[in-house]
Amino acid sequence: MNDKDAQIMRHLGITESFVAVYHYKGYCYSKLVDAINYAAEDVLKASSMSEENASSEDENVS
């Protein structure tokens, strides 16, 4: 936007707003709660898989 655009906007009472976009692992979310829910689920899933791999490695050692 240039100065002339800003002047016209002020004159006409036009405002602008910016929408927050939240990003997690290549996905975009318009709602923070959606990003949090997906990330939390992903982290729990990764943690669970890591624990499963560790226990199966322990079983293979004995």
Residue 42: how many other CB atoms lie within 10 Å: 13
Global confidence as pTM: 0.60
- pLDDT per position as a tens digit, 1-58: 899 999 999 999 999 999 999 999 999 999 999 999 999 999 999 988 877 677 666 6
Over the chain, what HEC string results? Answer: CCHHHHHHHHHHCCCCCCCCCEEECCEEECCHHHHHHHHHHHHHHHHHHHHHHHHHHHHHHC
Residue 19: closest CA among 10, 34, 32: 32
- CA–CA separation, 11 vs 13, rounded Å? 6
